[in-house]
Amino acid sequence: MSPSAVVQFEAAGFAYPNRPPLLDGLNLSVEPGEIVVFVGRSGAGKSTILKLVNRLILPASGAVRVEGRDTREWDGIRLRRRIGYVLQDVGLFPHMTVEENIGLVPRLERWRADRTSARTRELLDLIGLPPGVFASRWPSELSGGQRQRVGVARALAVDPPILLMDEPFGALDPVTRLELRREFLRIQRQLGTTVILVTHDMSEAFALARRIGVLDAGQLVVCDSPEAVARSRDPRVTMLLDTLGPARSNGGS
């Protein structure tokens, strides 16, 4: 097991009583600054992984370590404030302005108002939304792409070492999605944040991941570089690769 790992799964499993396991014996280390994308169909165990990391659930077997410490020993609230979270449907607070949404975790962390404000503006610049125009807007006044950018900015507000993303760019039109992916990679490289992202979209994985983990029925089938995954002959992987269309599956290697 890597001593430098930011997130480490040690034979981590989770199941509700008398049900098939949602996740079974996952072993994986996520290194600093890495983007790991878990891909799988609905029910493959993707969101279970995210919940284990931010301690919404505790592993039924094995252990999950964040920054070297077992999540059982972490205080859930403290842990979650160190972990940014971006949801598929963003979940911006509709009764708060863009500025208030982004500044929420700093406020929870009792930052001084001027520091929060400066940080909010800095983040708005980073995601390409001029603060003068967008700071005081309501979420309902934003386009889907803008909302998702604000969601990313909110997750990055206290510069967390870890970012969890759940289908972050799923609900966007293809052009916006491409644009956002590119910008996200720029920001991630700039900040060096460790990212765990889950999606059912193989193309998302190929676009963003340094490593792709393929999940099926709670099992990690493979976890490797995109190139290695593309060469896999495992039917549970090829089934997902087939969704990429003829261009990719024929000329992938």
Partner 1 sequence: MSELLHFWLTHRAELARLLEQHIVLVVISTGMAALLGIPAGILAFRRPRLGRPLLFAANVAQTIPSLALFGFLLPLPFIGGIGPRTALVTPTLYALLPIVRTTVGGLQSLDRSVVDAGVAMGMTSSQLLFMVELPLALPSIVAGLRVAAVIGVGTATIAAAIGAGGLGEYIFRGLSMVDSTTILAGALPAAALALVVDGGLAWLEHRLRSRRGSTFRGPALGAVAGLALVAFAAWWMSPGSGTSVVVGSKNFTEQVVLGELLAQAIEAEGLPVVRKLNLGGTFICDRALRSGDIDLYVEYTGTAVTAVFNQNVPHDPRQAFEQARELYARGGVTALEPLGFNNTFAILVRTRDARRLGLRSIDDVRAVAGTWTPGFGYEFLQRADGYPGLVEAYGLTFGGAPRAMDLSLTYKALGDGQVDLIAGDATSALIDALDLTALDDTRRYFPPYDAAPVVRTSALLRHPEIGRALGRLTGRVTGRDMRAMNRAVDLDRRGPGEVAREFLARLD
User: Using CB under 8 A as the criterion, which residues of the chain lie in contact with partner 1 when the complex forms?
Assistant: 54, 56, 76-81, 83, 85, 87-97, 100, 104-105, 108, 138-140, 154, 164
CB of 106 to partner 1, least distance (A): 11
- Distance (Å, rounded) from C-alpha 214 to C-alpha 209? 12
CA distance 36 to 18: 31
Q: How far is the CB of 102 from partner 1 (least distance, A)?
A: 11
**Among 152, 162, 155, 187, CA closest to 32:** 162
Of 34 and 100, the one with the shorter C-beta distance to partner 1 is 100
Nearest to partner 1 of 147, 211 (CB atom): 147
Smaller CB separation from partner 1, 103 or 226:
103
Cα 199-39-236 angle, rounded to 5 deg: 145
How many other C-beta atoms are found inside a 10 Å radius of the C-beta of residue 181? Answer: 17
Question: Exposed (0-12), middle (13-18) or buried (19+): which is 33, by Cβ within 10 Å?
Answer: middle
Minimum Å gap between C-beta 59 and partner 1 is 18
Which CB atom, from 72 or from 210, has the smaller least distance to partner 1?
72
User: Which distant-in-sequence residues (6+ apart) come within 8 Å of 216 by Cβ?
Assistant: 40, 41, 44, 236
For partner 1, which is the closer residue by CB, 28 or 164? 164
| Structure tokens given for 41 | 């169909």
Q: Which among 207, 210, 208, 212 has a CA at the least distance from the CA of 234?
A: 212
Which DSSP category does 197 fall into?
E
In the complex with partner 1, which residue's Cβ is closer, 52 or 202?
52
Residue 104 CA to residue 98 CA, distance in Å, equals: 10
Smallest distance from partner 1 to CB 92, Å: 7
Which residue, 16, 48, 19, 31, is CA-closest to 220?
48
| Beta carbon of residue 118, minimum distance to partner 1 (angstroms, whole number) | 20
Q: Output the smallest distance, CB 151 to partner 1, in A.
A: 8
Cβ proximity to partner 1, 79 vs 215, nearer residue: 79
Least distance CB 221 / partner 1 (angstroms): 27
